[in-house]
């Protein structure tokens, strides 16, 4: 009988994400090998996400790992993911990981999963899927940015996205996104007299344009590349509507546009954008508590994914609430929103079983850890929101290219249900 690999040691250290902000890396030692996991962070975070770090920040989290967490986990078999994740909750003792930090917890959880995969001589995606997954996701790429990801005189809307819906492979789809990104840059040089090639947090262009002009540019670039490559590329948006929701005035305030829209007007506005630009994907069209509004948009939108990020925060209980109201038909999956791999898996399973499309997603403040690529394939997510350019984004794209090559003839691109 093969001896189980166990956790022999755990160490945490401070590193920096793509914005230069401190974050955490956790190192798990098993069978004298080291397995590391790094945690990203978001700029526009949902109210219902777990707490990223304890009071005292990353330094306090490192101390807690050494003094509190490691002694409890050393000696546990790395294959016992549920037991590890349950112990993280027990050690923390709060509902939102405010003692050890959700970013700390997910880094530990992921590092343990990497150790477990290695103990089985598997790549991480194989381990997560039990060796069953062979579907590569469609890459959802951010090509033009505004809101909290860009600032200044950029558009109010946070992300202008493209999704290749007719690509025959992941590599073909990834190349299409790169081509659209380049084309957008070319068109901005002609459209925005002040454009100097500036980019936001995720490598998306950050021009001095309003929402509609920005959409015109992205839609035009997607159409050009669709014709050039013979691949249908559709446009999507992440409005990040919670960032401009004014609770006191009960309205959405578009500062760049100089507009204010009530809840009903916001729904009509989003539906109008879907119709005009044939949008295939809209994320967070309303603020994070408006389940009923999400349900209305979902009911009225045609051939468009209505995705909840701040609405659901990768939380199975929030997703169940949405399912009951038919609010949205897709969900963003960000493991550090919930804190453990076990709960992330539970959320994805629930989404898949109820017809919601799980979208594995990066965060604006990313690291070069490529685990998201393995999670997307291992959890059978049809879409991965991973950016287009930038080293921390390319790390995931290149890892997916490796997985595609590794699978060889067994590889296929996931079916999109829109």
* 357 HSE (CA, 13 A, CB side): 24
Catalytic residue among 183, 334, 385, 396: 334
Identify whether 410 is a catalytic site residue: no
d(CA 298, CA 296): 5
Catalytic residue among 38, 79, 202, 392: 202
**Residue 332 contacts residue 326 (beta carbons within 8 Å):** no
Helix then strand then coil, in percent of the chain rounded to 5, is: 45, 20, 35
CA angle 222, 160, 373 (to 5 degrees): 90
**Residue 412 contacts residue 135 (beta carbons within 8 Å):** yes
Instruction: Tell me how far CA of residue 137 lies from CA of 27, 76, 201, 372, in angstroms.
Output: 28, 33, 23, 11
Tokens of 379: 């959890």
d(CA 144, CA 181): 8
> Hey, CA dihedral for 255, 256, 259, 260, is it positive or negative?
negative
Strand partners, 30: 33
The helix (run of H) or strand (run of E) holding residue 360 is: strand 357-361
Instruction: Tell me how far CA of residue 244 lies from CA of 131, 361, 364, in angstroms.
Output: 43, 22, 18
Identify whether 202 is a catalytic site residue: yes
- Where in the sequence numbering do the catalytic residues fall? 202, 334
């Amino acid at each position: 009988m093969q001896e189980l690999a166990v956790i022999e040691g755990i160490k945490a250290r401070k590193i920096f994400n793509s914005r230069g902000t401190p974050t955490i890396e956790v190192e798990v030692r098993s069978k004298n090998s080291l397995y590391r996991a790094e945690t990203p962070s978001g700029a526009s975070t949902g109210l219902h996400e777990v707490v990223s770090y304890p009071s005292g920040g990353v330094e306090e989290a490192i101390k807690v790992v050494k003094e509190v967490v490691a002694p409890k986990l050393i000696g546990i078999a790395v294959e016992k993911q549920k037991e590890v994740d349950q112990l993280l909750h027990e050690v923390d003792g709060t509902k939102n990981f405010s003692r050890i930090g959700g970013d700390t917890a997910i880094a530990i959880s992921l590092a343990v999963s990497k150790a477990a995969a290695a103990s089985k001589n598997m790549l991480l995606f194989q381990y997560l899927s039990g060796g069953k997954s062979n579907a590569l996701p469609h890459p959802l790429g951010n090509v033009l940015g505004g809101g909290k990801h860009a600032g200044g005189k950029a558009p109010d809307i946070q992300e202008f996205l493209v999704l290749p819906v007719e690509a025959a492979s992941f590599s073909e789809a990834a190349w299409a996104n790169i081509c659209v990104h380049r084309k957008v840059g070319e068109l901005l040089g002609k459209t925005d007299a002040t454009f100097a090639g500036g980019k936001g947090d995720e490598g998306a262009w950050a021009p001095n344009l309003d929402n509609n002009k920005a959409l015109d540019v992205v839609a035009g670039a997607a159409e050009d590349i669709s014709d050039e490559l013979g691949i249908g590329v559709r446009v999507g948006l992440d409005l990040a509507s919670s960032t401009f929701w004014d609770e006191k005035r009960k309205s959405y305030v578009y500062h760049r546009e100089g507009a204010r829209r009530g809840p009903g007007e916001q729904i009509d506005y989003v539906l109008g954008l879907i119709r005009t630009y044939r949008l295939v994907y809209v994320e967070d069209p309303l603020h994070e508590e408006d389940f009923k509004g999400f349900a209305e948009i979902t009911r009225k939108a045609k051939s468009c994914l209505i995705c909840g990020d701040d609405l659901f925060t990768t939380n199975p209980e929030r997703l169940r609430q949405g399912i009951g109201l038919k609010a949205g038909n897709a969900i963003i999956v960000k493991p550090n929103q919930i804190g453990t791999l076990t709960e992330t898996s539970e959320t994805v399973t629930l989404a898949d079983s109820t017809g919601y499309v799980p979208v594995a997603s990066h965060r604006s403040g990313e690291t070069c850890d490529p685990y998201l690529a393995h999670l997307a394939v291992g959890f059978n997510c049809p879409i991965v929101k991973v950016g287009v350019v930038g080293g921390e984004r390319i790390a995931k794209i290149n890892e997916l290219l490796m997985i595609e090559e590794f699978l060889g003839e067994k590889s296929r691109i996931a079916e999109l249900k829109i």
